[in-house]
Amino acid sequence: MSRANYKRLGDYIQAVKNKNTDLKAKELLGINIDKFFMPSVANVVGTDMSRYKTVSKNQFACNRMHVGRDYRIPVALSRTDEVFMVSPAYDVFEITDTEILNPEYLMMWFSRKEFDRNAWFYTDADVRGGLNWKAFCDMQLPIPSIEKQNAIIKEYNTVVNRIKLNEQLNQKLEETAQAIYKHWFVDFNFPDENGKPYKLSGGRMVWNEVLGKDIPEGWEVDSFTKVLSFGGGGTPSTTINEYWTGDIPFYTPGDLGKQYYCLSTVKTISELGLSKCSSKLYPKNTIFLTARGATVGGVVLSSKPMAMNQTCYAIWGDKNNKYFAHQLTIMTIKRLKKDAVGATFEALVTKDFNEYFVINPPNNLKSIFDIKVSSIYEMLLIESNQIQKLHSIINLILSKMSKL
């Protein structure tokens, strides 16, 4: 489809300004960076909720305030029958004729990276980088026949649903690995010499003063940094192009995803760049832990050798307990976050881990655990790669929309 066939968005949508005057809408939602509605984190104690706007099924909400700053426009489509609230600062709008423009098709267009770049281009000179309503309405998109729209929606949803199934499988695999770890190293029901659960079968327990609880006889308690090894990262000069023209994945907290494994990174560096920074090339299955910033406490495994920047820690066990090391790190971060309730969890420093004591089971048991869960981690990596490929297909489908 040529640009001559593009249509002005404002000719197909209209603003909706319904407010929660009857207070029937109870749930307050915001919009996340992935363009989905999510529970709002705003403190609304004592707030007059009748001023908030309501959103009904097949209506959109968007926040035009910070497009220039964030380089994207948060916009989402309601697919639920339940009416909910959004901030009075949000715009709520709907399609005037869904026989001409399908809401799902429009939401697909909003999901394109090119749409966000175009929205950024339209931002005004406001210091906040806002996008005014007229500029939003002046944006254009191709609107093919409703039949073509429905066909591309069907193709898109087929891939999206496959991604959801793979993500659900990964979630089950992660839960299984965590359950085995908890059963063995928290509940102490690892298999004894007869293959029976240790504690439930009367295995001998002894009191440990440091942890303030009984632990299996013969087990040790050490600081986290004695049980696992720590490494740091660094960033080569960003002004020297030769440092950034290689194929070495360079992990930063921006690469943190929802999966156990990081498959690829936005940035890469060269061998020369690696030699000019304080990071080293960490092997596959190294744990990267975000030490500060918005994603502090984020834990991920490297799927291949990677370097990393200085806002992260690299953590690893020996080659026979890499999965034990991963689960121990996840458990430790959960407890550190829990202990920080009432305080701000803004950064992690080495001292936090030097002074944090954990159970250190016998090495042979840690190795047996790794063997037990190795197939789970291998399947997680396979499924994660499949999800990445499916997302590439999604991007192809979305890019194809400009040619419809």
CATH top class, domain 3-143: alpha beta
pLDDT of 233 > 80? The answer is: yes
> Phi and psi dihedrals of 24, rounded to 5?
-75, -35
Residues in the chain: 404
Locate tokens 């803004």: which residue?
A: 346
Structural domain 172-360, CATH architecture: Alpha-Beta Complex (3.90)
- Nearest 10 degrees: Cα torsion 375, 379, 385, 388: -140
pTM across the whole model: 0.85
Residue-range domain boundaries for the chain: 3-143, 172-360
pLDDT of 204 > 50? The answer is: yes
Tokens of 185: 């190293």
pLDDT of 347 > 60? The answer is: yes
Please tell me if the domain spanning 3-143 has the same topology as the one spanning 172-360. Answer: yes
Q: For a pLDDT cut of 90, what percent of the chain falls above it?
A: 81
Average pLDDT over residues 27-31: 95
Q: According to the model, what pLDDT value does residue 125 have? A: 47
> Distance between CA 4 and CA 140 in Å, rounded?
10
Element spanning 95, H or E:
strand 91-95
Between strands 205-208 and 213-216, the pairing is antiparallel
> Distance between CA 116 and CA 396 in Å, rounded?
16
Tokens of 52: 């908030």
Q: For residue range 80-130, what is the model confidence (pLDDT) as tens digits? A: 999 999 999 999 999 999 999 999 999 999 999 899 888 887 775 454 557
First to last CA, the chain: 5
pLDDT of 273 > 80? The answer is: yes
Average pLDDT over residues 38-57: 91
Q: For residue range 367-389, what is the model confidence (pLDDT) as tens digits? A: 999 999 999 999 999 999 999 99
Q: How far is CA 290 from the centre of its chain?
A: 13
pLDDT of 1 > 50? The answer is: no
> Distance between CA 361 and CA 165 in Å, rounded?
36
Between strands 287-290 and 261-262, the pairing is unpaired
